[in-house]
Amino acid sequence: MAKKWRQHLQNWMSQKMDLPQDVMMDLPRITMIGQIHIYVENHRGLLTFSDKEVRLLLKNGQLLIKGRSFVIKTILPEEILLEGKIDEVLYLNG
């Protein structure tokens, strides 16, 4: 019941305050430019990094990015800019 009420309140605030739902619902925002750049905002931390795989912790689950020649261009507490050849972006639930 409390979870449903909280989601209703978040939706209402998002509409009334003209805020994006990803901000109100604590969701990641993912921006890709072709297969060479991916920018992820609102993640909870970097779990693994290699030149072929990056795994980020999310509020609910993980984000797995697969490819090759990965380089972290920018990393901040809740943002990351990754460059390389991106083949897959997968959401892992739980």
Per-residue pLDDT for the chain (94 aa), expressed as one digit of tens each? Answer: 676 777 676 666 666 666 555 555 578 999 999 999 999 999 999 999 999 999 999 998 999 999 999 999 999 999 999 999 999 999 999 7
pTM of structure: 0.75
SS3 43: coil
What's the CATH fold of domain 27-92?
Immunoglobulin-like (2.60.40)
> Which tokens sit at 78?
């809740």
Q: What is the DSSP letter of 51?
A: S
> Which tokens sit at 52?
């072929």
As a whole number of angstroms, the distance between CA 23 and CA 11 comes to: 11
